[in-house]
DNA sequence: ATGGTCGCGCTGCGA
């Protein structure tokens, strides 16, 4: 099972890029974030034509997450438990191909001390509580997505410049670690313990040509998935394409 | 350099 996560920054604007990558990389399951479209307007047929089933949780203009799978998709649930007031489409979960999978788009947080940063920390706390419940099922599981947190300085091109900034702040790193400490494995880091590789490069200031990136997109595995982890990598090629997303796909291979 | 560039959708917001 090859499982990928990709923040596409609008599935409609990115459709040719995403279809080209799927044909090339042939993942079994793809977790998308920032689809930025209502489910009715999602380009379903284009994905179904190349063999993917879909589970969508969309929203107009902002956010939006999706699961694509070459296997039948069952048991879909939309929205992260823990806050009935939360209307943002940032979490979808399902069972497919013998695994539990979830696509998550953690809030960016915008600015330290802002309401949005508080929402980010609360969201990560809710994700940890929900993950705790999921882990009790003792299934192979992948919770993948744009976590908007670079876990350690090794995940940042210039740690000194980013110290204390959003995506690197100690409070959000601690919140991400509380999630990891439940027993999840960061698939890319497990396979590349010392690599300095990024999954996101800002559109601004020539970050991509200068390789000024951060690793903020992660595939987090339950023990039952981690025990079967065969490989993981970041595919940088899509970031260099015409009309690229500011994120690039991260994938892992699990031998079920 | 206190900016830069995208996407959405029509004005500025979110990232």
> pLDDT tens digits, residue range A107-157?
999 999 999 999 999 999 999 999 999 999 999 999 999 999 999 999 999
Give residues with Cβ within 8 angstroms of A163, minimum separation 6.
none
Q: Report the predicted TM-score, pTM, of the whole model to 2 decimal places.
A: 0.98
What does pLDDT average to over chain A? 98
Average pLDDT over every residue of A73-87: 97
The C1' atom of B3 and the CA atom of A37 lie apart, in whole Å, by: 30
A209-to-A65, A184, A196, A203, A204 alpha-carbon distances in Å? 28, 33, 16, 10, 11
Given a contact cutoff of 8 angstroms between Cβ atoms, the answer to whether A35 and A90 are in contact is no
User: Quick one: pLDDT at residue A127?
Assistant: 98
> pLDDT tens digits, residue range A34-44?
999 999 999 99
Q: Which of A28, A52, A119, A146 is catalytic?
A: A146
User: Quick one: pLDDT at residue A200?
Assistant: 98
User: Quick one: pLDDT at residue A39?
Assistant: 97
User: Quick one: pLDDT at residue A95?
Assistant: 98
Nucleotides of B strand lying within 7 Å of any protein CB atom: 1, 3-9, 14-15
The C1' atom of B15 and the CA atom of A35 lie apart, in whole Å, by: 13
Nucleotide with smallest C1' distance to residue A11 CA: B7
User: Quick one: pLDDT at residue A117?
Assistant: 97
A242-to-A15, A25, A117, A234 alpha-carbon distances in Å? 12, 18, 32, 18
Which position has the token pair 């003792």?
A138
Quote the tokens at residue A242: 């015409």
A197-to-A4, A67, A250 alpha-carbon distances in Å? 16, 25, 11
- Report which of residues 114-133 in chain A place their beta carbon less than 7 angstroms from any atom of strand B: 116
- Does residue A146 have an active-site annotation? yes
> pLDDT tens digits, residue range A193-251?
999 999 999 999 999 999 999 999 999 999 999 999 999 999 999 999 999 999 999 99
- Does residue A171 have an active-site annotation? no
Given a contact cutoff of 8 angstroms between Cβ atoms, the answer to whether A222 and A183 are in contact is yes
**Which candidate, A43, A35, A42, places its Cα nearest to that of A63?**
A35
Check if residue A204 sits with its Cβ under 7 angstroms from strand B.
yes
């Amino acid at each position: 099972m090859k499982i990928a996560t990709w923040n596409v920054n609008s599935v409609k604007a990115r459709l040719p890029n995403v279809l080209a990558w799927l044909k090339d990389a042939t993942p079994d399951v793809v977790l998308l974030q920032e689809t930025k479209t209502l489910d009715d307007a999602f380009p379903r047929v284009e994905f179904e034509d190349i063999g993917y089933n879909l589970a969508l949780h969309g929203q107009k203009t902002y956010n939006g997450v999706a699961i694509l799978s070459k296997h039948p998709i069952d048991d879909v649930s939309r929205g992260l438990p823990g806050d009935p007031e939360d209307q943002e489409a940032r979490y979808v979960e399902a069972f497919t191909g013998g695994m539990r999978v979830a696509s998550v788009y953690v809030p960016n947080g915008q600015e330290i001390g802002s309401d949005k940063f508080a929402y980010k920390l609360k969201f990560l706390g809710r994700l940890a509580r929900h993950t705790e419940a999921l882990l009790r099922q003792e299934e192979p599981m992948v919770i993948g997505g744009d976590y908007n947190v670079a876990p350690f300085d090794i995940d940042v091109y210039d740690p000194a410049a980013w110290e204390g900034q959003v995506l690197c702040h100690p409070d959000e790193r601690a919140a991400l670690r509380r999630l990891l400490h439940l027993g999840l494995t960061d698939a890319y880091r497990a396979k590349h313990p010392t690599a300095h590789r990024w999954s996101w490069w800002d559109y601004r200031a020539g970050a991509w040509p200068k390789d000024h990136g951060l690793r903020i997109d992660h595939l987090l595995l339950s023990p039952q998935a981690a025990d079967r982890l065969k490989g993981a990598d970041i595919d940088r090629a899509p970031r260099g394409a015409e009309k690229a997303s500011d994120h690039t796909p991260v994938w892992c291979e699990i031998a079920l």
